[in-house]
Structure 1
C-alpha cells in the first residue's frame, strides 16, 4: 500500500512540477497561452467510451496546453497499483466559432496497456502489452443559453496492432447544464448523453451522465459517472456501471512578453 501511495504522490508531484515550470517567464513560453488540467482519483476508471471501464480504482490525469485555437491534450490513466491503463495524446482545433455555434475537431494516438502471459525463454511470464490506436473526433455544439448547450460528438478509432478492435464508431447526442446553483458557494454541472457504439460487427445503445459538484474559487470537486445499457449485443457489456471521483483542477493563463 505504501508503494502505491508513493507512486500516486510521485505522479502528482511531476504534474505540479510541470505546472510550476510553465509558470516561469521564459522565452520558451512565448507561444503558450494556457496550461490547465485535472487530476482525479476514482473507485472505478471509466473510459472516454463509458461502456469501457477498468473495474478497479484509478488515477487519471487530463492535461491541456495550447494557444488560440490549437491545443495539445494528453490524457493519462493508471490503476492505483501504478500500472498504466490508457494514454491518449490529443491534438485539437476549434474549427468553427460563430456566435452560439462551435465545432471542434481532434485526433489522437492511443496506447492501451494490457497484462498478458507470454512464453519467454521457455517460461511463462506476465508482461505488459501495448496496443496502438489512431482516432479522430468531431464535436459540433450549440449554446441554447448562458449555461445550457446541446451537441453531437462522433469518434472513430482504428486499431493498428493485432488483437485490437479494428473499427470503433462512437456517436453521442449530448447536453451540458453548467453552473446550476446549489447555494451561494456551491454549484453543480450535469452532462447527460445517449450514445450509439459499434465495435467492428457488434453494436449497442446506451445512456450515460456525469454529475459534478464544486465550490466557487476552490480547486477540489466531486464527480460521478453512471452508464446504463439500453440495448446491446457487444460482448462483455455491463448493464450498469458507475464511479465517484475526487478531482483537483487548475488553469493558468500566460501573456506573451
Structure 2
C-alpha cells in the first residue's frame, strides 16, 4: 500500500531533492572528455555529505558507490570506474540523498562534449517521456496512466522503453509502493492520491528494449549494444497536480 505523506513530510523530501538538484548542476559543469565517473562519484558523495545528507545508494544491497554512472549502452546501475570519458559519450548519473531520514532520487543523462545527432535525439525524447509521465500524475488517474503517457512519448519518437526497470514510491525508504512502469495500459494499477510521492524514471533506447547484466550483478546493458538514456525526478502528487521535488 502506498504511504501518503503530509505537507511537512513532502517538504522534508523536497529539502533532500534540492541537494540532489544542485549536485546535478555541479556535475554538469564537471563532465568533460578525460574525466572519470569515479571522480564524479567522489565529488557527489562529498557534496552530499557537506550538506548533511547521506548518499543512500552506498551500501544498498552491497553496492559500493554513492552514484550509479551508466555510459552509452549501459541502461542503468553502472558502477563508477576510472576509465576516462570520451567526447561524444553520454552518461547517466543517478543518485539518492537521505536528509534527516527522508530520501529523494534523481537521474540525469549528460552529453560529454558534443553529442551525435542520434544521441541528442535519444536524450531529447527520453526527457519528453519523463515530462509526459509526470504530467499524467494527477489525483484520480492511475499508475498505469503515467506509464501509458511515457510509453506513448517513446513510441512517437520511434524509441523503445526498457521495461525491466520501474519507478517507485519513496520517502523514508528508497523503494516504496507503488511500482511505476513506464509502458503500461491506461486506467490500470493503483489510483493516484494527493500525498503520494513517486519517482518517474523512464529509460529509452535506440534499439531493442531487452537488457543483459554484467558479471558484477548491477550493470545493466542494452542487449544489442545500442545506447540508452534515462531521466528521473521525484514528484509529489497534490490536489493542484504533480510537483517536482528534485528540480
Q: TM-score, normalised by structure 2?
A: 0.26
Report the structure, 1 or 2, having the larger helix content.
2
Structure with the larger RCO, 1 or 2 (CA within 8 Å, 6+ apart): 2
Report the structure, 1 or 2, having the larger strand content.
1
